[in-house]
Amino acid sequence: MPSSMNSHSQKSFLRTEVRARRRGMLWQEVEAASGDICARVNGLAAWREARTVCAYLSLGNEVCTHALVGGAVSDKVILAPKSHDGGRMSWHRLRDWESLAPGMFGILEPPESEPAVEPPCPDLVLVPGLAFDRLGHRLGHGGGYYDRFLAGVSGVKVALAYSWQIRGDIPYERHDICMDAIVTEREVISVRTSRL
């Protein structure tokens, strides 16, 4: 990225680049890498010991969380997000896959009949993103939904990413929330926690 760009321009430039690359992934690549990433998550003590997990439900070519999350509903409290106007998310118990329906951004969400859990108090959060660096900085989609939510969370924040989404230096601002760990198909990057 040109060094003359300000942080906002750098983020915009990087978002465009990463979205294009992710859109260009073949489903076989997504499936294989996602399987390896989720296997690494399954191997984390933080995941095995977590009783309550806030988890994103993947869309398109994001790291696919469906098998990981679907396989955990019987022994964990899995909370999935619903997006609302104003950059706010509420978290609702995921009980079964069949009850989910596309929400505000086309992302699968729990039904209206499932009440919000306030506050969610997760032991662990699975966090999506477009790009990350090894210091735990995260580039999201720009709506601020996760930064607002994560600001009040004490649980372990684990991002899921393809190895090519790890960049040398992510532009960040004071309000951006850092990840505790990043899991890719190749490695677990422990940033700021010993609770893995």
Distance CA 40, CA 158 (A): 12
Distances (CA, A) of 65 to 5, 59, 69, 168: 34, 9, 6, 25
Please tell me whether 57 is known to bind a ligand: yes
Cβ-in-10-Å burial (0-12, 13-18, 19+) of 160 comes to buried
Residue entry with tokens 């989910």: 100
Please tell me whether 40 is known to bind a ligand: no
Please tell me whether 71 is known to bind a ligand: no
Q: Is the peptide bond before 119 cis (omega within 30 degrees of 0)?
A: yes
Please tell me whether 135 is known to bind a ligand: no
How many residues can be counted in the chain? Answer: 196
Please tell me whether 86 is known to bind a ligand: no
- At residue 156, the 3 state secondary structure works out as strand
Please tell me whether 12 is known to bind a ligand: yes
Q: Which amino acid is at 144?
A: G
Neighbouring residues of 90: CB distance < 8 A, sequence distance ≥ 6: 81, 82, 84, 116, 118
Please tell me whether 74 is known to bind a ligand: no
Please tell me whether 68 is known to bind a ligand: no
Please tell me whether 162 is known to bind a ligand: no
Please tell me whether 108 is known to bind a ligand: no
Please tell me whether 13 is known to bind a ligand: yes
Binding residues for ATP are: 11-15, 138-146
Residues annotated as binding site for substrate?
Answer: 57, 62
Residues in the annotated binding site: 11-15, 57, 62, 138-146
